[in-house]
Chains A and B, each alone.
Chain A
Amino acid sequence: MKVLYFAWLRERVGTAEEEVTPPAEVATVADLARWLAGRDEAHAHAFENAAVVRAAIDRRHVKADAAIAGAREVAFFPPMTGG
Chain B
Amino acid sequence: MFAVRIQAEPFDAVAESAALGAGRTDVGAIVTFTGLCRADAGPDGTGLAALTLEHYPGMAEEEIERHVEEARRRWPLTGAVVVHRHGRLVPGDPIVFVATASSHRAAAFAAAEFLMDWLKTSAPFWKKEEPVDAARPGGWVEAKASDDAAAERWSE
Contact = CB atoms under 8 A, between A and B. Distances in A.
Contacts, number: 73
Interface residues of B, number: 29
Interface of B is mostly: mixed
B119 interface: yes
B120 A7 contact: no
A59 interface: yes
A82 B62 contact: no
B152 to A, nearest CB: 14
B56 A6 contact: yes
Nearest to B115: A83
20 contacts: A6-B56, A7-B140, A56-B124, A59-B62, A60-B62, A75-B56, A75-B59, A75-B124, A77-B56, A77-B124, A78-B126, A80-B143, A81-B143, A82-B60, A82-B119, A82-B126, A83-B84, A83-B95, A83-B120, A83-B147
